[in-house]
Amino acid sequence: MLPYRSEIRNSPKEQTIKIYLSDTSLDQQLKTLIEKIDGVRIVEVQESLSRNRVEENLTVFRKEAISINILKEKIDDFLESYFERVDI
């Protein structure tokens, strides 16, 4: 199983990025680190409602000046290097 999965979600108010971590014990630590990425406005830990997902996810809200696609690439790059370093 992959250590994470991310996807762009469209809500009525704004686009967000959902991050589903295989190990939800990392949620708070990664929340703090992801909030430091340029273009991120805020990160929330939210309960997942779908049955086929982990119990909670990180929801990333972007600053208006950045493209959601560029921000997703930055987050994915960060997560790839993070999980390479911790050898999960």
Contact 1, 24 (CB under 8 A): no
Count of Cβ atoms closer than 10 Å to residue 36 Cβ: 9
pLDDT band at 48 (very low <50, low <70, confident <90, very high): confident
State the chain's mean pLDDT as an integer: 91
CB 59 within 8 A of CB 43: yes
Q: Is 67 exposed, middle or buried (0-12, 13-18, 19+ CB in 10 A)?
A: exposed
Domain 4-86 has CATH 3.30.1360.10: yes
Give me the sign of the Cα torsion angle 79, 82, 85, 88: negative
Residue 14 has pLDDT above 90, yes or no: yes
* pLDDT above 80: residue 37: yes
Measured CA to CA, the distance from residue 58 to residue 17 in angstroms comes to 8
What span, in angstroms and rounded, lies between the C-alpha atoms of 14 and 33? 22
pLDDT beyond 80 at 1: no
The pTM for the full model equals: 0.88
